[in-house]
Amino acid sequence: MSSQVVVGVGPVSFADVVAVARSGAGVVLGEDAKDAIVRARAVVDELAAAPTPAYGISTGFGALATRHIPTEMRAQLQKSLVRSHAAGSGPEVEREVTRALMLLRLSTLATGHTGVRPETAQLIADLLTHQITPIVHEYGSLGCSGDLAPLSHCALALMGEGTVRTAQGAVVPAADALAEAGLKPLELEAKEGLALINGTDGMLGMLVLAITDLRRLLRTADIAAGMSVEGQLGTDRVFAPELQAIRPHPGQALSAANLSALLADSGIVASHRGPDCNKVQDAYSLRCSPQVHGAARDTVEYAATVAGLELASAIDNPVVLADEGRVESNGNFHGAPVAYVLDFLAIVAADVASISERRTDRFLDKARNHGLNPFLADDPGVDSGHMIAQYTQAAIVSELKRLAAPASVDSIPSSAMQEDHVSMGWSAARKLRRSVDGLTRVVAIEVLTAARALDLRAPLTPSPATGAVVRLLRESGIAGPGPDRHLSPEIEKTVELVRSGAVLAAAEAEIGELK
Decide the pairing of beta strands 133-134 and 163-165: antiparallel
Helix (H, G, I), strand (E, B) or coil at 77: helix
Helix (H, G, I), strand (E, B) or coil at 53: coil
Is the separation of the CB atoms in 138 and 89 below 8 Å?
A: yes
- C-alpha distance from residue 421 to each of 160, 318, 408, 489 (Å): 33, 18, 11, 46
**Alpha carbons 361 and 232: distance in angstroms, whole number:** 11
Helix (H, G, I), strand (E, B) or coil at 334: coil
Is the separation of the CB atoms in 247 and 293 below 8 Å?
A: no
Decide the pairing of beta strands 26-29 and 4-7: parallel
> Could you write out the DSSP letters of every residue in 205-232?
HHHHHHHHHHHHHHHHHHHHHHHHHHHT
> Could you write out the DSSP letters of every residue in 95-110?
HHHHHHHHHHHHHHHT
- H-run or E-run covering 6: strand 4-7
Helix (H, G, I), strand (E, B) or coil at 42: helix
For the question of residue 391 being annotated catalytic, the response is no
For the chain, give me the number of helices (H) and strands (E)?
20, 9
Task: List phi, psi (to 5°) of 483.
Answer: -60, 160
Closest listed residue to residue 95, CA positions, set 184, 10, 209, 186:
209
**Alpha carbons 167 and 194: distance in angstroms, whole number:** 28
The one catalytic residue among 55, 284, 302, 340: 55
**Alpha carbons 141 and 150: distance in angstroms, whole number:** 7
**Alpha carbons 275 and 284: distance in angstroms, whole number:** 22
Helix (H, G, I), strand (E, B) or coil at 148: helix
Catalytic residue annotation: 55
